[in-house]
Amino acid sequence: MKVHNFNPGPAILPSVVLEKTAEAVKNFRSTGIGIMEISHRSKEFEGLLNETIQLLRELLNVPENYSILFLGGGASTQFFSVPYNFLDKKAAYLETGHWAERAIKEAQKLGKVEIVASSRDKNFSYLPKGWTIPTDADYFHITTNNTIYGTEILYDIESPIPLIADMSSDFCSRPMDIKKYALIYAGAQKNVGPAGVTIIIINNDFLNEKQVKNKVIPTMIDYKTHVNNNSLYNTPPVINIYVVYETLMWLKNLGGLSEMEKINIEKSNLLYDYIDSSKMFVCTVSNKEDRSRMNVCFVMKEGYKDKEEEFEKFAKSKGIIGIKGHRTVGGFRASLYNALPLESVKFLIQTMEEFEKKYS
């Protein structure tokens, strides 16, 4: 039976990426040894690393004065690295979900934080509106996509102060204007690779001018360490970077981020339109403009609440996996990351229709 993988991350990868990785595990680029067995100081690996950086530069149109880093430790390590490097007097945060809360918690451990706006009052089911970025803060931190709640900031914010974005769950899902950001970080495991590597895009002028002065920063969380060493200060996660490379190649061959965005719009519209027309299912995010293209969250309507477990079983019996919603939201979440094919979205809708017909 074909598996339709809607996992929220780690998530589905393109099948060509899996094929190439399986090959490279045994023999990387005809070296006679596997990708996990090559030295990170070898010309073969440095070549791969620089090609991966170049691919990201091309796909995202990254300006010259930005560095691109590949680090271990996950986005969670960035939650404290960002304030460690840049929080001097005060930092501003937008509180849009669980991961934003975690980022805020780490910043609060290290300094003063102003929460510019929050959607906590309604369990993060919408994006806060009408807020103003304080010009006296060192930076403004946002979480562009909120995996658990299914909301997404789908445009590049204009910020009067340096803008820092956790893009872990929508990185490379659309073209974006990198110039508007001082620092972007993203765990690779949603749209561009496997768990175990975090991508950082940082404006070097911002780093040089705005890093807190006269502060003792552990070497590994000082961004300058990794910028100055091209991510090779210590041994990087080699195979994880390789898989990112192959995933970016797949993205490029598909037509790049404009093309990817079109497909992501098509996939999410199809599913949202079906749910909005359904008698049984309803989206947890009612404001259409706040809805995530990456994570479509929905529950059963009143009168059908007792059918949730049965629907999950029914879907599973058809090969649909990973659609159980996060425990704080309940219901279901279909993650439609880059590599999830349109065909799987259609199959999910067909399965939902079938279930609905059965019970109405």
- Give whichever of 161 and 220 is closer to a copy of itself, judged by the CB atom: 220
Please state, in angstroms and rounded to a whole number, the distance separating the CA atoms of residues 20 and 242.
10
By the rule CB under 8 A, 219 interacts with a copy of itself: yes
Please state, in angstroms and rounded to a whole number, the distance separating the CA atoms of residues 120 and 135.
24
How many residues contact a copy of itself, by CB under 8 A? 67
Closest CB 229 distance from a copy of itself, rounded Å: 11
By the rule CB under 8 A, 343 interacts with a copy of itself: no
Task: Evaluate whether 174 touches 163 at the Cβ level (below 8 Å).
Answer: no
Residue 166 known to be catalytic: yes
Please state, in angstroms and rounded to a whole number, the distance separating the CA atoms of residues 62 and 55.
10
Q: Which stretch binds a copy of itself (CB under 8 A): 46-54, 99-107, 295-303, 350-358?
A: 99-107
Using CA atoms, how far residue 141 sits from 130, 155, 161, in Å, is 16, 15, 10
Binding-site string for a copy of itself from residue 193 to residue 212, where x marks contact by CB under 8 A and - marks none: xxxxx---------------
Residue 119 forms beta bridges with which residues?
none
Catalytic position from the list 20, 190, 210, 267: 190
By the rule CB under 8 A, 218 interacts with a copy of itself: yes
Residue 322's φ and ψ, nearest 5 degrees, are: 80, 20
Determine the straight-line distance between the first and last CA of the chain, rounded to whole angstroms.
Answer: 28
**Residues 177-209: b if buried by 16+ CB within 10 A, e if exposed:** ebeebbbbbbbbbbbbbbebbbbbbbbeebbee
Closest CB 75 distance from a copy of itself, rounded Å: 8
Integer Rg of the chain from CA: 21
Residue 329's contacts (CB-CB under 8 Å, 6 or more residues apart) are 123, 148, 149, 150, 284, 297, 299
By the rule CB under 8 A, 19 interacts with a copy of itself: yes
- Using alpha carbons only, what angle is made at residue 337 by residues 335 and 339, rounded to the nearest 5 degrees? 125
Using the rule CB under 8 A, which residue among 57, 73, 123, 259 binds a copy of itself?
73
Count how many residues are written for the chain.
360
Binding-site string for a copy of itself from residue 243 to residue 282, where x marks contact by CB under 8 A and - marks none: x---------------------------------------
Using the rule CB under 8 A, which residue among 55, 62, 69, 80 binds a copy of itself?
80
Please state, in angstroms and rounded to a whole number, the distance separating the CA atoms of residues 82 and 20.
35
Q: Which stretch binds a copy of itself (CB under 8 A): 1-9, 126-134, 146-154, 297-305?
A: 1-9
Closest CB 226 distance from a copy of itself, rounded Å: 11
Task: Summarize as ranges the residues that interact with a copy of itself (CB under 8 A).
Answer: 1-3, 5, 7-13, 18-19, 21-23, 25-26, 31-34, 36-40, 71-77, 79-80, 84, 102, 105-106, 109-110, 187, 189, 193-197, 216-221, 233-240, 243, 319, 321-322
The residues annotated as belonging to the active site are 99, 166, 190
